[in-house]
Structure 1
């Protein structure tokens, strides 16, 4: 996040700094827009799925298995790292958690024994952990391995093996 500047964004877009600064007053405003975009990418991907889609498939759809999701996870992890030192950036993580906390329990009802919110936290941690490994070690964590490990964790949760 330290390298994010209007100049760096303009360079990456192939635009002028003036064009970027016309839309964003400062780095904070630029970061805010990027956070909103990153969250919208994932939320839109999930919301486009039919209501009957199994929660496993929804979780699999947000793993870093293609160029869009890989870039999104890289950005998310950089924001989360910076959020440890900048409380204003924690909004991004809270927004994503609120989405999952409102969506997952209803999807897990009748499939999971015990506290649905605890099950939700378990799945969020599972997806985050797989994503972190996949972003840091992409050659060791291709899409099929990510899906395999998600299936292992999800199956353990759904069959009640989670302790």
Structure 2
């Protein structure tokens, strides 16, 4: 359904793990899972789906010196733009962790928006560099998806 053109989605990619695996999950005991390769990423974009950036290495941004945090944010964008030959304007903070300085770095890097791991529907007055999101997993059926998007179900989880 997503790739049929009926619905669009954003896939936030860790640019240093194209054709790699979810190495950041190893410490949690999560088994390795293959990630998209370069051709799959290009096909995703060709089908009209959005490619978003998720840093180079899926790092905890607040734990990094500012220069390294900026490098992770900027280099991920540049690498993905080179790969898909189109602008990458969406960013997602790894682990949802960020501070005001990171939001500013994302803005300065040329992104239009950034998402958190905070659940909820985005509102018109939300900071575009701190947007909540609706979590959709492989087991989310159409009825559940519509419930999340068209009712206040997710808004109850915003935490504000």
**Whose helix proportion is higher, 1 or 2?**
1
TM-score, length-normalised on structure 2?
0.31
Q: Is the radius of gyration larger for structure 1 or structure 2?
A: 1
Higher relative contact order (CA closer than 8 Å, sequence separation 6+): 1
**Whose strand proportion is higher, 1 or 2?**
2
